[in-house]
Amino acid sequence: MDRLKTLLARCARVAEGVSVGMFIAIFVLFIAGVVMRYVFARPIEWADEFILVLFLWTTFLTEALVLTEREQVTFDVVYDLCGPANRRRIGWLASAIIAGLFLAATPTVFSYVNFLWRERTPVMEWRLDIVYSCFLVYWVAVCVRAVAKFVALCGPRWQDEVAAVQVDERANVLG
């Protein structure tokens, strides 16, 4: 189990680096696009489209592979007021609902993304099924996380899953 956690931590670090690289590329392309358009009057035709694709990939891959449950936006006022047993029940219910809904919709989502092979982006003419394949990674990650949370709450160490989380320095103002 420790090897799996180490492997997942390494994968998350790699995904974090890739996400940072894509975000830097978005910023550089945006600045280059503005400079070329307004300083040299020669716009880069593909820049806006490439920025949009990078933004999609950055958003979905970061959500799927980098962010932890603690870093998600949650409405946990009731959850924080409950004791461990009720937190476990809330976690069961929430993870079961999320897993159930996402798993039920999975065939439709995969079918629609596969359907997009017929369409292409306007400038670079990339197939849209490839452009939106990052959404499939996100979708699978949500399903896996919800099922894993449900299984963890059913296991012998469920108290670790519902323990009160200490606020860390990385937490935002709301978290």
The verdict on pTM exceeding 0.85 is: no
Q: What pLDDT sits at residue 105?
A: 96
Q: Give the C-alpha separation, 70 to 91, whole Å.
A: 14
CB–CB of 81/125 below 8 Å?
A: no
Q: Which residue positions in the chain have pLDDT lower than 50?
A: 167, 169-170, 173-175
Domain contains 172: no
Q: What pLDDT sits at residue 175?
A: 46
Domain contains 61: yes
Domain contains 148: yes
Q: What pLDDT sits at residue 107?
A: 95
Tell which of 67, 92, 121 closes a domain.
Answer: 67
| Domain shared by 91 and 127, yes or no | yes
For 32, the domain range is: 1-67
